[in-house]
Amino acid sequence: MMTVNEVSKLTGVSIRTLQYYDKIGLLKPTKYTESGYRLYDDIALEKLQQILLFREFEFSLKEIKEIISKKDFDKNKALEQQITLLTLKKERLENLISFARGIQFIGVKAMNFSAFDTSKIDEYTKRAKEQWGNSQEYFEFQQKSKNQTKEEQNEIIQNFMQIFVEFGALKNMLPDSAKVQNQVQKLQDYISEHFYKCSDEILSNLGQMYAGNSEFTINIDNAGGVGTATFVSKAICIYCGK
């Protein structure tokens, strides 16, 4: 048996979230101690794994509860679909990494946006969800550059680089200051809005690349002044560790 604190440390799911899952009947503890502490066995942990994997499909908690509570719930089928989806996401992330590395050689203007195409994942998740039924259409992907002109794409990049100009003006501040951290949030939000969903994990990887003595470093330092790329990297590291 594991305590709620041990489960939280093992899985990365917060104690508050586990308490909420208990409250809504999504994941009940195996039993409670006399003092009221929650305890979880291997069966409960396996159920939690399923919940987390279905979250990758972006099912709502209500939908997940309905699915895994069905008597005919096929865990093997669900796992197979989840593996396929995660593989597609991995391929897309690898394409995005290749795209980002390409910027190191071609600069920030002439770019091919095909790496942001999510149609394969969109189609697969739509078909997978149809098989589970009782679900509304939920997984929205934006084909952000599909109908953009070259001028519009250039404007997006110029506005993107302007964010680093603003970072350069903040270099005299501590990277953990509120103003700098708000600027990191602005960067993350801009990437999510105009390029792809930028999770903290992806942002952290980008931060490492920014300070990696690459074309990224040169472009950012050209925009915000020498040392901007390293400053941004430190600020992102703090932000993603919050």
Give the chain's domain count: 2
Clarify whether residues 132 and 214 are in a common domain. yes
pLDDT band at 90 (very low <50, low <70, confident <90, very high): confident
Clarify whether residues 61 and 159 are in a common domain. no
pLDDT band at 137 (very low <50, low <70, confident <90, very high): very low
Q: What is the pLDDT of residue 133?
A: 44
Instruction: Say yes or no to pLDDT of 145 above 60.
Output: no
pLDDT band at 142 (very low <50, low <70, confident <90, very high): very low
Q: What is the pLDDT of residue 115?
A: 47
Among the candidates 35, 68, 101, a domain finishes at: 68
Clarify whether residues 133 and 47 are in a common domain. no
Instruction: Say yes or no to pLDDT of 232 above 60.
Output: yes
Closest CA to 132 of 37, 44, 216, 57: 57
Q: Is 192 a member of any domain?
A: yes
Count of Cβ atoms closer than 10 Å to residue 131 Cβ: 11
CA distance 238 to 183: 12
Residue with tokens 């997984």: 139
How many residues make up the chain in this entry? 242
Q: What is the pLDDT of residue 202?
A: 79
Q: Is 145 a member of any domain?
A: yes
Question: Could you list the residue range(s) of the whole structural domain that residue 211 is in?
Answer: 90-240
Q: Is 81 a member of any domain?
A: no
pLDDT band at 71 (very low <50, low <70, confident <90, very high): confident
Clarify whether residues 40 and 121 are in a common domain. no
Q: Is 22 a member of any domain?
A: yes
Q: Is the pTM of this model over 0.95?
A: no
Give me 72's structure tokens.
Answer: 């005919």
Helix/strand number for the chain, H first, E second: 11, 3
Clarify whether residues 223 and 158 are in a common domain. yes
Q: Is 85 a member of any domain?
A: no
Clarify whether residues 112 and 185 are in a common domain. yes
Phi then psi dihedrals of residue 32, to 5 deg: -115, 145
Q: Is 201 a member of any domain?
A: yes
Clarify whether residues 8 and 120 are in a common domain. no
**Residue 50 is part of a domain; what is its CATH number?**
1.10.1660.10
Q: Is 78 a member of any domain?
A: no
- DSSP annotation of 114 reads G
**Residue 222 is part of a domain; what is its CATH number?**
1.10.490.50
Clarify whether residues 111 and 192 are in a common domain. yes
Report, as an integer, the average pLDDT of 119-123.
57
Please state, rounded to an integer, the average pLDDT across all residues of the chain.
78
Clarify whether residues 95 and 60 are in a common domain. no
Q: What is the pLDDT of residue 177?
A: 95
Clarify whether residues 97 and 194 are in a common domain. yes
Clarify whether residues 53 and 95 are in a common domain. no
Please give the radius of gyration of the chain, using alpha carbons only, rounded to the nearest integer.
22
Q: Is 82 a member of any domain?
A: no
Clarify whether residues 108 and 188 are in a common domain. yes
Name the least confident of 67-81, 108-122, 205-219: 108-122
